[in-house]
A and B are shown apart, each in its own frame.
Chain A
Amino acid sequence: AQSVAQPEDQVNVAEGNPLTVKCTYSVSGNPYLFWYVQYPNRGLQFLLKYITGDNLVKGSYGFEAEFNKSQTSFHLKKPSALVSDSALYFCAVLPYSGAGSYQLTFGKGTKLSVIP
């Protein structure tokens, strides 16, 4: 079965500084990888996805993520954090080849706080 680990429950970063939210995954075969963001009392908003191709994926609102197959990681990054980036971030994996259960599996989430 597939799994996702987000090792940090919370990440604090000063406004204007670069941010990284970590994610590692475990899945049989090749993965689809996703990042979603959730604001209070809201559903999930899609940020970006990796399916195949370039290991550096660019997404919405200036976010990007780097797929590293050897480290089974998919860390979310942004060069300069904004206070409005403060939210809950979820990493998710979906098996590409149909191996394992074909369901979107989420990490526990990382709360990002950007300090003015």
Chain B
Amino acid sequence: KAGVTQTPRYLIKTRGQQVTLSCSPISGHRSVSWYQQTPGQGLQFLFEYFSETQRNKGNFPGRFSGRQFSNSRSEMNVSTLELGDSALYLCASSLALRSPEQYFGPGTRLTVT
């Protein structure tokens, strides 16, 4: 069974632009969570989607948003990029909402210049 895939793997954007990242969960998994990883703050939870609805949200500004499609694929959008948004963005999928077992993708490395 294929693992979690994330596209693109690397991205360079300019401050003020917006960006969309994509995550395809493991087949049959219905929940997708997003995390931001930075050297300073470590791994921080962004949000969780299940059945096309955001079910759980971390402490990030409204510039960070997401959505989930009927096939469980998810996208994350960051608007008005700031230098501090440079990070590795990780997506994790699980079978159900609030499942203790999450499987992570390889991440998207976003660099904001």
The reply to whether the CB of A73 lies closer than 8 angstroms to some CB of chain B is no
User: Are A102 and B56 in contact, with the CB atoms below 8 A?
Assistant: yes
Q: What are the residues of chain A within 8 A of B43 when measuring CB–CB?
A: 90, 92, 106, 109
The reply to whether the CB of A94 lies closer than 8 angstroms to some CB of chain B is yes
Q: A102-B56, A102-B98, A103-B58 are in contact. Are A44 and B104 (CB under 8 A)?
A: yes
CB distance from B65 to the nearest CB of A (A): 17
CB distance from B35 to the nearest CB of A (A): 8
User: Are A103 and B106 in contact, with the CB atoms below 8 A?
Assistant: no
CB distance from B11 to the nearest CB of A (A): 14
B: interface residue count bin:
20 to 34
Q: What are the residues of chain B within 8 A of A103 when measuring CB–CB?
A: 33, 45, 48, 56, 58
CB distance from A101 to the nearest CB of B (A): 8
The reply to whether the CB of B90 lies closer than 8 angstroms to some CB of chain A is yes
> Interface centre among B42, B103, B107, by most A CB within 10 Å?
B42
User: Are B33 and A104 in contact, with the CB atoms below 8 A?
Assistant: yes
Q: What are the residues of chain B within 8 A of A106 when measuring CB–CB?
A: 42-44
User: Are B42 and A107 in contact, with the CB atoms below 8 A?
Assistant: yes
The reply to whether the CB of A51 lies closer than 8 angstroms to some CB of chain B is yes
Q: Which residue of B lies closest to A108 (CB)?
A: B42
Q: What are the residues of chain A within 8 A of B92 when measuring CB–CB?
A: 44, 104
Q: What are the residues of chain A within 8 A of B56 when measuring CB–CB?
A: 101-103
Give B68-102 as 1s and 0s: 1 = Cβ < 8 Å from A's Cβ atoms.
Answer: 00000000000000000000001010000010111
Q: Which residue of B lies closest to A107 (CB)?
A: B42
Since A32-B100, A36-B104, A46-B104 are in contact, a sample of 14 more A-B pairs with Cβ atoms closer than 8 Å, ordered by chain A residue number, is A42-B107, A43-B4, A43-B107, A45-B104, A46-B101, A46-B103, A103-B45, A103-B48, A103-B56, A104-B33, A104-B35, A104-B92, A105-B45, A109-B42
